């Protein structure tokens, strides 16, 4: 059994590393694309914000069927008000505020909220908790893209910096 607290806590860790990537990347280069057909660094980070905000908003609003024809319009109702051309600092702040708010709203839900079955946009039937897990995994996938962009710019991601610091500390003992 997966515990709700574990899913929410691990999402917080993922988001904190997403925010670190946004803060570490040169703001003047948010239009950087690893390949021409790939979204830019800034577009990926903005997508993470909007997908997390929109999908959790739909869950919290009681939406049960994400296959409805007007899914995109319903999703838009719950997205952040930040514009795609917002500054790097505004995006980092929005990512932080959004997660803090959504995690508090989700944590306040009773256990039966998370056990309720919904239909995801691909037709798969799953619990709301499984949908939150999916949203978290979606962010993790895109966070990996941000990390790749960091590496291409010669910037070490926060996760690697922590691992290296831990190894150095252990080696100093």
CATH at 104: 1.20.120.450
| Number of domain units in the chain | 1
pLDDT in tens, 108-121: 999 999 999 999 99
pTM over 0.85: yes
Residue with tokens 């991601």: 157
Which run of H or E residues covers position 125?
strand 125-127
pLDDT in tens, 43-70: 999 999 999 999 999 999 999 999 999 9
- What's the domain range around 92? 4-171
Query: What is the spatial distance between Cα 97 and Cα 100, in angstroms, rounded to a whole number?
Result: 5
């Amino acid at each position: 059994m997966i515990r709700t607290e574990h899913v929410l806590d691990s999402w917080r860790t993922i988001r904190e590393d997403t925010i670190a990537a946004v803060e570490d990347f040169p703001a003047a280069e948010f239009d950087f694309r690893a390949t021409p057909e790939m979204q830019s660094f800034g577009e990926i980070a903005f997508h993470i914000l909007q997908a997390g905000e929109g999908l959790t908003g739909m869950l919290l609003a009681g939406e049960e069927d994400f296959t409805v024809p007007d899914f995109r319009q319903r999703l838009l109702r719950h997205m952040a008000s930040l514009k795609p051309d917002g500054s790097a600092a505004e995006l980092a702040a929005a990512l932080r505020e959004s997660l803090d708010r959504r995690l508090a709203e989700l944590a306040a839900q009773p256990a039966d909220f998370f056990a309720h079955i919904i239909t995801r946009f691909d037709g798969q039937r799953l619990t709301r908790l499984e949908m939150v897990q999916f949203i978290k995994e979606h962010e993790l996938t895109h966070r990996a893209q941000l990390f790749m962009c960091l590496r291409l710019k010669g910037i070490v991601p926060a996760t690697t910096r922590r691992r290296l610091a831990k190894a150095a500390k252990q080696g100093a003992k």
